[in-house]
Amino acid sequence: MPLPSLFLPRAARALLLAACALAGAADAADVVHVEPSRFAPIWVTEDHGERCIAFGQENTGAHQTCMDLGRPQAMVFNYTRMMMGSLYLQPQPGRILIVGLGGGTLPTALAAVLPEAEIDTVEIDPAMVRVAERWFGFRQGPRQRVHVADGRRYVEDAAREGRRYDLVMLDAYDTDYIPHHLMTREFLRQVQAILRPGGVLAANTFTGSEMYDRESVTYAEVFGDFFNLRANNRVILAVNGGPLPDEAALRRNAQALAPRLEPYAIDVERELARFSRDRDWRRDAAVLAD
């Protein structure tokens, strides 16, 4: 199921309603911007010292990105801290791919923590790029590049052209959940093809998703064992073609990175405690396929 596209009249009506809310509704005083998009309007809100992103036909309060205005580096969401836990498996990735930009929390942090790394981020919606740059401090540069494209198409092109990455992060959502074409066995095999041997995959999903069992068996079929980190969201961490590192290796890498991660509100001990190898899903669930 591809990302939903909206007919322009419907999107225009939604943006008109948003503008009315900005102009006159007292309970919408925290909406500071609504960015037009051919997919769904992107709402930027501020409340209790946090600036957040939501997208959809109205501001429902479900946020995809939040930034602490007093501590812009500090990660607000558990899932971003768990995604950064991929560095405990691969502490020196030279080339990184992120599918899904949001406000740019992950690529911005990775560029600071790993100044020599080359980071490619794929984002389907140019409106999201504009929001990330204007409202969340995201900046492109020689080693920090955004490609406006469908994530699957980009991965398939990269595999065909022989491009390889040390770390791939999957963090793409539409207004409901992860688009189906970014969840299937066939897609994950393409992701595997662009990972170098020993490269790491990090995927952000939901702990309470109805797809939990099917997602799990699909990732397990392609990558074998993986770490299952859970705190509101669920983050899958897998290694391409090799065993998962043991606890000693995780701790050694985490402690070496701790000073660089501290500004992002990442506590090494708390994050290491989330690493689980338990297979807490139905093994007979159907694999997700195209």
Q: Which residues are catalytic?
A: 171
Q: Which residues contact 142 (CB under 8 A, 6 or more apart)?
A: none
State the virtual CA torsion across 4, 155, 215, 225 in degrees, nearest 10. Answer: -170
Q: Distance between CA atoms of 32 and 189, rounded to whole angstroms? A: 41
Distance CA 66, CA 190 (A): 31
188's tokens: 């994950």
The CA distance from 165 to 142, in Å, is: 17
Tell me the residue length of the chain: 290
Which strand ranges, in their side-by-side order, compose the sheet holding 195-206?
Answer: 144-148, 118-123, 95-99, 165-170, 195-206, 233-239, 227-231
Report how far residue 118's alpha carbon sits from residue 96's, in angstroms, rounded to the nearest whole number. 6
Amino acid identity, residue 10? R
- Residues 86 and 170: their CA atoms lie apart, in Å, by 12
Cα distance between residue 204 and residue 16, in whole Å: 33
Closest C-alpha to 186, from 154, 218, 220 = 218
Pair 107, 144: CB distance under 8 Å: yes
